[in-house]
Chain A
Amino acid sequence: EDQVTQSPEALRLQEGESSSLNCSYTVSGLRGLFWYRQDPGKGPEFLFTLYSAGEEKEKERLKATLTKKESFLHITAPKPEDSATYLCAVQVDSNYQLIWGAGTKLIIKP
């Protein structure tokens, strides 16, 4: 069964304390892996798409990486405004549907 698991469920960091969020997946064939950010009371906001192992994407303090089994979202020197829930989703070959993880709630304390 295709599955996506995110860890940890919640992460509390001090401002400036770098860390990583994990998205592990077991799927029959990966077509793409997506990262989203979701603020309370809002819809998910697209961040990155990764297609193949070894690929990396960066945006401001965020960097996403991909291996054959998992993806990491690295957050460097985070600020309070980076606080949000981060979601990952996987698309498998020849299927329109995305398989979503439950998310990691990130809290950055000033």
Chain B
Amino acid sequence: NAGVTQTPKFQVLKTGQSMTLQCAQDMNHNSMYWYRQDPGMGLRLIYYSASEGTTDKGEVPNGYNVSRLNKREFSLRLESAAPSQTSVYFCASSGDAGYEQYFGPGTRLTVT
């Protein structure tokens, strides 16, 4: 039982490049989330998916897109990376929206 997995673990991009962060969970959870974590700040929600087939914007969605591929997988895409997107990105899942969330190990992204 792996819980929530994320790939890649580390990534360096140049300004303007694109990439997709992958997330998968094996807990049969309905809801999935993408956060970013920056020093001195709380976790900030980028997008979430309350259930398969739905996605909604969170607090900081600009510059990102998401896809809920199926119940297990939720990907985050940066179309044109900017230095302001340098951060640690976490994927999380929960049984339903409002219940405790379980987090992946994170992706450390640097945009130069």
Interface residues of A, Cβ cutoff 8 Å to B: 4, 31-32, 34, 41-46, 49, 87, 89, 91, 96-103
Contact = CB atoms under 8 A, between A and B. Distances in A.
Contacts of B102: 46
Nearest to A31: B98
Contacts, number: 51
B100 A46 contact: yes
Given A34-B100, A96-B31, A96-B97, A44 B90 contact: yes
Contacts of B104: 43
Interface stretch (B11-19, B41-49, B70-78, B79-87): B41-49
25 contacts: A4-B42, A31-B98, A34-B100, A42-B105, A43-B90, A43-B103, A43-B104, A43-B105, A43-B106, A44-B43, A44-B90, A44-B103, A46-B101, A46-B102, A49-B99, A87-B42, A89-B43, A91-B98, A96-B31, A96-B48, A96-B98, A97-B45, A98-B101, A102-B41, A103-B42
B53 interface: no
Contacts of B105: 42-43
B103 A96 contact: no
Interface of B: 4, 31, 40-45, 48, 50, 56, 58-59, 90, 92, 97-106
A81 to B, nearest CB: 19
Nearest to B9: A41
A33 to B, nearest CB: 11
A32 B98 contact: yes
B26 to A, nearest CB: 15
Contacts of A42: 105-106
Contacts of A34: 100-101
